Copies of this chain bind each other. A is one copy, B any other.
Amino acid sequence: MSTADMPPAPSGRQRSDVRRNEQKLLDAAASVFVRMGIDAPVREIAAEAGLGMGTVYRHFPTRADLVVAVFRHQLDALAVAADNPAAADTPYEVLRRWVHRFADFLVTKHGLAEALHSDQAGFEALHNEFVERLLPVLDQLLKDSASAGCTRADVRAYDFMLAIGNLCIGVETFPDYQARRMIDLLLAGLTRTAPAPS
């Protein structure tokens, strides 16, 4: 009932062109966001994609839509990254590894950590996207680790997620800043603070 009553017959080909364009735009935007920040001129993104500016607006009516789409796309990979626990690790090890994978993600997608705090359009949506996709994963990892007695139980996944993200900020602009060490410090702080080894 849906596609049937459309004009001459859009033909699968056209539809796939459209999708191809959307992909081009996502890739282009990701790359441009890195190069020029999340406030990069729309024209720049269109040019990078080899498309017209109107096409950007057709696919992503607001900048927010584009921003979210760019990163949603990249979050998918991370959301499933906790699914293969690698068997014989302690829950803390699993948590630890995921956290660093998260940091990898933020750091390699240069500028993403900073972008999360942009006060521009799309900002809220972007944040929500992260929360929706990653918070459940991290929450589970924290709970597992706490249940196993490895780590504190009084740390909220939300705070922890933002903290990790924050610690990644500035890696690019301050080349001397070693975010990884600080992330490890945060992880260390998470471990059951020695109060009673016995």
Q: Does A163 contact B (CB under 8 A)?
A: yes
Task: State which of B156, B179, B184, B187 has its C-beta within 8 Å of the C-beta of A178.
Answer: B156
List chain B residues, Cβ under 8 A from A170: 116-117, 162, 166
In the complex the two chains form, is B158's CB within 8 Å of A177's CB? yes
Number of copies of this protein chain within its complex: 4
Partner of A186, one of B117, B158, B182: B182
Q: A117-B169, A155-B185, A195-B197 are in contact. Are A162 and B190 (CB under 8 A)?
A: no
Interface size class of A (residues with CB under 8 A): 35 or more
The smallest beta-carbon distance between A14 and chain B, in angstroms, is: 11
Asked if A176 is at the interface of the complex by the 8 Å CB criterion, the answer is: yes
Contact B182–A193 (Cβ < 8 Å): no
| Complex: A37 Cα to B117 Cα, angstroms | 12
A173 an interface residue at 8 Å Cβ cutoff?
yes
The proximity string for A residues 154-177 relative to B, scoring 1 for CB distances below 8 Å and 0 otherwise, is 011011101100110110011011
Which positions in A face B, CB cutoff 8 Å? 37, 114, 116-117, 119, 123, 127, 155-156, 158-160, 162-163, 166-167, 169-170, 173-174, 176-179, 181-182, 184-191, 193-198
